[in-house]
Amino acid sequence: MMSSFPHPHLLGIEGLAADDVHLILDEAERWIAFNRRPRRQADLLAGLTQLNAFFENSTRTSLSFEIAGKRLGAQVVSMAVAQSSVAKGESLIDTFRTLNAMQPDVVVIRHGETGAARKVSEIVDCPVINAGDGTGEHPTQALLDALTIRRRLGRIEGLTVAICGDIRHSRVAGSNMRSLPLLGADVRVVAPPALLPPAGELGAVAAYTDMDEGIAGVDVVMMLRIQRERMDAALAGGLSDFHHRYGLTRERLDRLAPRALVMHPGPINRGVEIEGALADDRGRSAILDQVENGVAVRMACLDLLTRARRGD
């Protein structure tokens, strides 16, 4: 009997139990092998309609959800937001009331407003997957990150992970700061003071403002994209000063654990948060593994969330 996912939606890591996360990761494992076959077509979602609504630009997340749905056999429809009534001023609520009337079977949404995915889940009659909402959460990114760590290092429990960069504005950091401790990792964040969240939002996560101290001895270093529009608030010296003080370079690798893994959710600002040659070093960098694993994780999420609709 197939295991069931005990939640109607995937809106964030918050609210999930460790068993829920392990279920998704275990399901994703089989899709990695499937995706490496010469022919990759399943019919689990045959006859179901998957609606992708991306109100923000995306390459990795949007395309991997589209590929995931199509490989599972779904009818995948990607909403052209710029050509929709949203451009005429239609509200999020009215847009999804309209879309719900078209009877989609699963909705994948990315939106700039924190909490947008939850609002949509209260309107539509099908599962909703949050593909990133404002500065809130990006749960499938955290799940694919966890899967990547587990596959490359053999475990998550007991590892030390440093998340570095724009922590305050990062939904990737928000989800990983929930998922990785849930799975037994020791998590720390490293950033300039202006890019750290308020102390009350860190929970048990330790915060560092010195990069060399923050990454010392860690098993995984996860770099985040620096959002250039916010750099003036972070460092008076700008991008070059940020790279000098907080960029990941080969020289800084010596401070990590011997087999430490380098990760980045993309897109990368080469020469800012990470040295370009280091990002391309497949021996240390898991960045392309993250991309590959993202398709498998999203296939697992689509499968698990639609099983009740399929009668499985």
Would you place residue 1 in the very low, low, confident or very high pLDDT band (cuts 50, 70, 90)? very low
- Tell me how far the alpha carbon of residue 76 is from its chain's centroid: 21
pLDDT mean across residues, the chain: 93
Residue partners of 163: CB distance under 8 A and separation at least 6: 173, 176, 177, 187, 188, 189, 190, 222, 224
Question: What are the tokens at 136?
Answer: 């809130």
Residue pLDDT, tens place only, 134-192? 999 999 999 999 999 999 999 999 999 999 999 998 999 999 999 999 999 999 999 99
Nearest to 70 by CA among 291, 302, 289: 302
> Judging by beta carbons within 10 Å of its beta carbon (0-12, 13-18, 19+), is residue 157 exposed, middle or buried?
exposed
pLDDT of residue 30: 95
Q: Between β-strands 49-54 and 220-223, what pairing exists: parallel, antiparallel or unpaired? A: unpaired
C-alpha dihedral, 226 to 228 to 232 to 234, nearest 10°: -10
pLDDT for the residue 237: 60
DSSP 195: G
What per-residue confidence (pLDDT) applies to 228? Answer: 60
Which residues of the chain are in CATH 3.40.50.1370 domains?
A: 18-137+291-310, 139-289
pLDDT given at position 279: 93
For domain 139-289, the CATH superfamily is Aspartate/ornithine carbamoyltransferase (3.40.50.1370)
At residue 308, the pLDDT reads 92
State how far the alpha carbon of 308 is from the alpha carbons of 6, 42, 212, in Å. Answer: 10, 18, 49
Token duo for residue 278:
């280091």
Least trusted range by pLDDT, from 16-30, 70-84, 289-303: 70-84
Residue 99 CA to residue 93 CA, distance in Å, equals 10
Which pLDDT belongs to residue 87? Answer: 75
Per-residue pLDDT tens over the stretch 215-263 = 999 999 999 987 665 445 555 567 778 888 999 999 999 999 998 999 9
CATH number of 18-137+291-310: 3.40.50.1370
Each residue's pLDDT tens digit, 73-107: 999 999 988 778 887 888 999 999 999 999 999 99
Q: Which pTM does this prediction carry? A: 0.95
